[in-house]
Amino acid sequence: MADTSDAMRVLTGRKRDRRILQGMLLLMGAIWLFPIYAAIKRSLEGGGTGNYTALFTDPVGDVTIYDTYLNSFIIAVLHAGIVVGVGALAGYAFSKLHFRGKEALYYGIVLCLAVPGTAILVPLYYTIREAGLFDNYLGVALPEAALTLPFAVLLLRNFGDNIPDSLIEAARMDRAGHWQVFRTVYLPLCRPALVNLSILCFMWSLQDFLFPSLFFTDEKYTTAAKAVQSFQQYLATSPSDIGKYNASLVLLAVPALLLVVFGLRFITAGLTSGGVKE
């Protein structure tokens, strides 16, 4: 009887803890969803769903919603391509190669994670200007990639350490060079981490407001994040345009939201798959 009572108390305690946790999660979810609900509600004021239709058919200033999507997508592709390509090579080198000063160089790169983008704005501004990359997609993609690469090296080096050295040694015994080992062994096994890194790069690029605002002066290069401010100049000047402005906020947030929803399982798998060493 005593064992049964103890078991019931444990079970009851677990149910109570689970309900408390569920309540906290519901409260947090409501807090996060309330701004979205408010934006959707206000986006229907005035013209109703016509506010959304107007944004797709009529340009705001000289920019359409499609232009902001395209600009954001191009920058995100460049950002992800640079980070994944360079990060994969660096991750392989730091994980499977042996050379003098490897650990010092690795920790030096990881320390760059502590450097905020705002701390290097002034030298970055002059560098981009001297390189002639103003109003150029690379002018935004390269700084974004530079700030993301330390995280990429950290992620892919830790993931690469989980790959058994015996696989690398077997390939080397078959006279495979480092490039062949990297391409046929390391890259296929690192696919979860690479997919995870690509999705994160897309998310961070879509949310970047600072660099597009600084390095794009032509409105035709307006990104989704920058359009939040530029659309305000045209749509928040009269009460009748408030609904359209809120509709634009909802539409501009859609790409990032869809990426999170459909990429969440890849992000979770990529972050945890290299966490256990056998």
Evaluate whether residue 67 is within a structural domain: yes
Residues 247 and 140 in one domain: yes
Are 63 and 34 contained in the same domain?
A: no
- The predicted pLDDT at position 136 comes to 94
Task: Give the per-residue pLDDT at 21.
Answer: 82
Q: Is residue 278 part of a domain?
A: no
What residues have CB less than 8 Å from 18, skipping those under 6 apart?
A: none
DSSP for 157-187 reads HHHHHTS-HHHHHHHHHTT--HHHHIIIIIH
pLDDT class for 54, splitting at 50, 70, 90?
A: confident
Q: State if pTM tops 0.85.
A: no
Q: What is the mean pLDDT of residues 146-174?
A: 89
Using a 10 angstrom Cβ sphere, with 0-12 exposed, 13-18 middle and 19 or more buried, the burial of residue 110 is middle
Mean pLDDT of the chain: 84
C-alpha 159/C-alpha 157 separation (Å) is 5
Higher pLDDT, 54 or 107: 107
Q: Are residues 39 and 56 in the same domain?
A: no
Percent share of the chain, pLDDT over 90: 30
Q: Are residues 170 and 192 both part of a single domain?
A: yes
Range of the domain at 34: 2-43
Q: Which of 17-21, 121-125, 172-176, 256-260 ranks highest by mean pLDDT?
A: 121-125
How many domains does the chain fold into?
2
Does residue 82 sit within a domain? yes
pLDDT, tens digit, 9 for 90 and up, residues 185-195: 899 988 888 98
Is there a single domain that holds both residue 36 and residue 94? no
- Domain contains 277: no
Looking at the structure, tell me whether residues 63 and 133 fall in a common domain. yes
Q: The domain spanning residue 265 has which CATH number?
A: 1.10.3720.10
Q: Are residues 170 and 39 located together in one domain of the fold?
A: no
In sequence order, which ranges of the chain are alpha helices (DSSP H)?
2-43, 50-57, 65-96, 102-111, 121-130, 137-161, 165-173, 178-181, 187-189, 191-207, 210-215, 224-235, 242-272
Same domain, 27 and 145: no
pLDDT value for 73: 93
How far apart CA 81 and CA 112 sit, in angstroms, is: 20
Q: Which two tokens stand for residue 37?
A: 């609900």
pLDDT value, residue 9: 54
**Model pLDDT, residue 271:** 55
> Which pLDDT does position 104 carry in this prediction?
93
Confidence of residue 87 (pLDDT cuts 50, 70, 90): very high
Say if residue 11 is in the same domain as residue 78.
Answer: no
Question: What is the per-residue pLDDT for 8?
Answer: 47
Domain shared by 35 and 57, yes or no: no
**Can you give the pLDDT at residue 239?**
66
| Per-residue pLDDT reduced to its tens digit, 152-162 | 999 999 988 88
Do 119 and 34 share a structural domain? no
Q: Is there a domain that residue 149 lies in?
A: yes
Stretch 157-177: mean pLDDT: 85
| β-bridge mates for residue 60, sequence order | 63
Pair 80, 38 in one domain: no
**pLDDT for the residue 78:** 96
